[in-house]
A and B are shown apart, each in its own frame.
Chain A
Amino acid sequence: MSVELGHYAIALAFAVAILQGIVPLAGAQRGDAKWMALGVPAALLQFALVALAFGCLTVAYVTSDFSVLNVAQNSHSAKPMLYKVSGVWGNHEGSLLLWALILTAFGAAVAVFGQNLPVALKARVLSIQSLIGVGFLAFILFTSNPFERLHPVPTDGRGLNPLLQDPGLAFHPPFLYLGYVGLSMAFSFAVAALIEGRVDPAWARWVRPWTLAAWCFLTLGIALGSWWAYYELGWGGWWFWDPVENASFMPWLAATALLHSAIVVEKRDALKSWTILLAILAFSLSLLGTFLVRSGVLTSVHAFATDPARGAFILAFLAVVVGGSLTLYAARAPALEPSGLFQPISREGSLVLNNLLLAVATGSILLGTLYPLLLDALTGEKVSVGPPFFNTIAIPLAVPMLIAMAIAPQLAWKRAALGEAVLRLWPAALAALIALIVVLAAFDRATLLAALGIGLVVWLLIGSLQEIAERAHLFRAPLAESLRRFGRIPRASWGMVLGHAGIALVVLGIVASETWQSEVIKTMRPGESVAVGPYQFEFKSVGDVRGPNYSALAGRFDVTRNDNLVAVMEPELRRFTHPPMTTTEAAILPNALRDLYATVGEPDNQGGYGTRLYFKPLVSWIWLGALVMALGGAFSLSDRRFRVGAPKRAGTGAPAAQPAGD
């Protein structure tokens, strides 16, 4: 019964979405307050209906109602409760419903928290948001209905793909979607501003919290996905430049660029047209990501079974959204008030550099990801673009980016002296140089590139610390005075410092683990021993283990260093019956300095087992760094000055007066 209720709620939400997509928008054009006022209750109702539908599907999963096709195909009564719940979005239909839920939640959040928004802007934003909702709800209703019944009712379900039965992946899609869909807010604000023909610093401040929240979630979502790939897939890798990964990375790059360019709009009333374009592109890339993942047009190492008919729907939707918004942009952007001019050497100049580099990175990854599709469509030749391409472009873009990231915060707005800023950073430069020389001189296998990477990490970390020290007048004022100033540093500034430091930590993890990792892939018999980095792995034995819904082959490795036992590692090869599938459960011993990683594979019938053993220095910092970045975003988000809806639009559209400290 509840399933029919859910289906009905989705149909109602679809109707409400159409209404909300038209009436407030038309009201804003006609200046009709009553029509515009419809947006708020409609947004709340739409959210309530989708939440009800989502709740109904969740109940069907939790109670293992196998009369529902979706539940029967993706769940099993023997599955642990966590995965019954996460199974709701562990499949195509359910993940779309989650998408719609988050989309309407964002709409409802604007309706509730956007009380300071001008009435017309708010009405337009709610309408645009709702029009996106129309697309997704139609998609659910017409091609991907999660509420379809199944006759006859099977006695048990087919089970969730065991690779997805994992805490990391249980929460990866919700975070990723919060990020993807959060960018729809920036999109809705951008389109509303285009219709209105007005972008000013107040607009930038309204968009900022949404973009920032989306960016934080996207950062966490990507990090979770990468972490999952690292420990669950059992090949010791954490990023493969795979289309599915790129699909989430491109919106992140665009959102990062948007965060930075919106600052220029806010502080200097410049870069307006570009910022609008970025907002449109960031969300378009989110949609493109969904299309690539859901349509299966690209061969991905992460591919799940897909359905081309659904891909066609998303492609059409993508064409409408991207085509429509870009057409509107082409028509209206020239009418925006011209942007202010500025010096290339200035804070805003450095933010433009950031945007250029991020845009080139996004464009290159887009090219590399879509080129196989284009070539296939044009010539029928099948190609793939591998990691070497992406690595080749990532490094030359990352180097100037990392250099500039420490210098840019030192530059003043409007007009700055590059020389002075660089001179102020002498401690960072000195530390970086020392790090570079030490790495080259004292470390085995140190390439020039690795040394450069470590040097840049030190440069950016010390540079970020210096930024904080300077704001607190450390060493220049009495300690008490410094501490007082320290406490008054705006949270948004902490956000920037943490964000930049987080990047440095990610780079540290990447450079160190790629340069100094040891990898042994070989068939081992129990009793054999092998050196991996400074550690000795002894393959002691194999045994059988039973889990709640699988049986497993468990290997046992005694890990020693200088003849001292460090750890006993027990990787498993798990065999699930529903669905019949085998997964590798790596044993990982992480700490701040290095990860030890071991997997055991199928026996070779001669007493040997395929094993993979890794020693990965500093690899955890890749994910810890991402966590620091997201934390920075959260700090910035909590800044009182940027609370959702806090700013008021200045009457003339002139830059709002800034509190001291920026």
Chain B
Amino acid sequence: MALKPKHRRLVLVLAGLALLGVAALFVGTALRDNLVFFFTPSEALEKQIPPERRFRLGGLVEEGSLKREGARIAFRITDSAQTLPVVYVGVLPDLFREGQGVVAEGRLKDGVFEAQTVLAKHDETYMPKEVADGLKKAGHWKGGKE
């Protein structure tokens, strides 16, 4: 390579920038494809979400709604204004309770939310921020923390 130091440096910098550009494009695409939106039951009903779209549904587990049929678990998530039935096949996290906040990820098919994961939490006083915000929006926030 008979390039002058100055040029050599320029080539290096350009190569680095090109690499970063490609990386940025790639990362941006990956991000767009993998965004998972969060909705409360009211929002989810209002938005007409296509059944192939994964999203997170958050709210309170409605009191008395939990039913276990073998490994198939059914319960309802509510934000006090609207309520959606949820089915889930699997084992619920230890801190899953009726009347407490929950976030489930999955798809909405024919009015039933088919959850693939139900998020666990580590602390019985913890309330997912989105759920708290969603409940506040619906005007039913009774938490004492804020």
Contact = CB atoms under 8 A, between A and B. Distances in A.
Contact of B68 (A368, A381, A605): A605
A383 B38 contact: yes
Interface string B3-23: 001001100100110011001
B125 A305 contact: yes
A305 B127 CA distance: 7
A389 B30 contact: yes
A602 interface: yes
A611 B70 CA distance: 11
B123 to A, nearest CB: 4
Contact of A581 (B30, B120, B124, B133): B124
B118 to A, nearest CB: 10
Contact of A610 (B8, B39, B91, B123): B91
Nearest to A397: B23
A249 to B, nearest CB: 16
Contacts of A388: 33-34
B31 A371 contact: yes
B94 A386 contact: no
B91 A341 contact: no
A108 to B, nearest CB: 34
Contacts of B129: 296-299
A307 B125 CA distance: 12
Nearest to A524: B71
A389 B146 contact: no
Interface in A562-591: 573, 579-584
Contact of A385 (B19, B20, B31, B122): B31
A435 B25 CA distance: 33
A523 interface: yes
Contact of A604 (B1, B15, B16, B70): B70
A382 B103 CA distance: 13
A167 interface: no
A384 B35 CA distance: 6
Interface string B28-59: 00110111111100000000000000001000
Nearest to B129: A299
Contacts of B15: 344
A526 interface: no
A414 B7 CA distance: 17
B27 interface: yes
B38 A161 contact: no
Interface string A609-622: 01110000000000
A653 interface: no
Interface string B86-119: 0001111111000000010100000000000001
A604 B68 contact: yes
- Main DSSP-derived SS at the A contact region: mixed
Interface residues of A, number: 59
Contacts of B90: 521, 610
Contact of A356 (B20, B35, B37, B145): B20
Contacts, number: 128
Nearest to B131: A299
B73 to A, nearest CB: 9
Given A383-B37, A580-B124, A523 B23 contact: no
Nearest to B40: A382
A521 B12 CA distance: 52
A521 B128 CA distance: 26
A302 interface: yes
Nearest to B146: A308
B128 A303 contact: yes
A582 B93 CA distance: 9
A149 to B, nearest CB: 22
Contact of A341 (B9, B27, B123): B9
Nearest to B105: A386
A306 B123 CA distance: 10
B122 A161 contact: yes
Contacts of B92: 601-602, 610
B26 A299 contact: no
Contact of B71 (A303, A341, A382, A522): A522
B67 to A, nearest CB: 10
A521 B38 contact: no
A385 B33 CA distance: 10
A582 B126 CA distance: 15
A163 interface: yes
Contacts of A393: 26-27, 30
A491 B99 CA distance: 58
A306 to B, nearest CB: 8
Interface string B123-146: 111101110010000000000011
Given A371-B31, A393-B30, A521-B71, A385 B124 contact: no
Nearest to A573: B94
Interface string A349-378: 000100010001001100110010000000
A581 B95 contact: yes
A42 B1 CA distance: 55
A232 B62 CA distance: 28
A658 B38 CA distance: 57
Nearest to A574: B94
Contacts of B128: 299, 303
A437 to B, nearest CB: 29
B94 A344 contact: no
A396 interface: yes
Contacts of A382: 37-39, 130, 133
Contacts of B105: 386
A304 B35 contact: no
A333 to B, nearest CB: 16
Q: Which of A298, A521, A604, A608 has the most CB of B within 10 A?
A: A604
Contacts of A305: 123, 125-126, 145
A611 B27 contact: no
Q: Which 3 A-B pairs have the closest CB atoms?
A: A382-B38, A389-B34, A610-B91
26 contacts: A234-B94, A296-B129, A298-B129, A299-B129, A341-B9, A356-B19, A356-B20, A360-B19, A364-B27, A381-B37, A383-B35, A384-B35, A385-B31, A385-B35, A385-B36, A389-B35, A393-B26, A396-B26, A521-B71, A522-B70, A523-B68, A579-B124, A581-B124, A601-B92, A604-B70, A612-B91
Interface of B: 1, 5, 8-9, 12, 15-16, 19-20, 23, 26-27, 30-31, 33-39, 56, 68, 70-71, 89-95, 103, 105, 119-126, 128-130, 133, 145-146
Given A233-B120, A385-B36, A393-B26, 5 more contacts: A382-B130, A384-B36, A385-B31, A610-B91, A611-B91
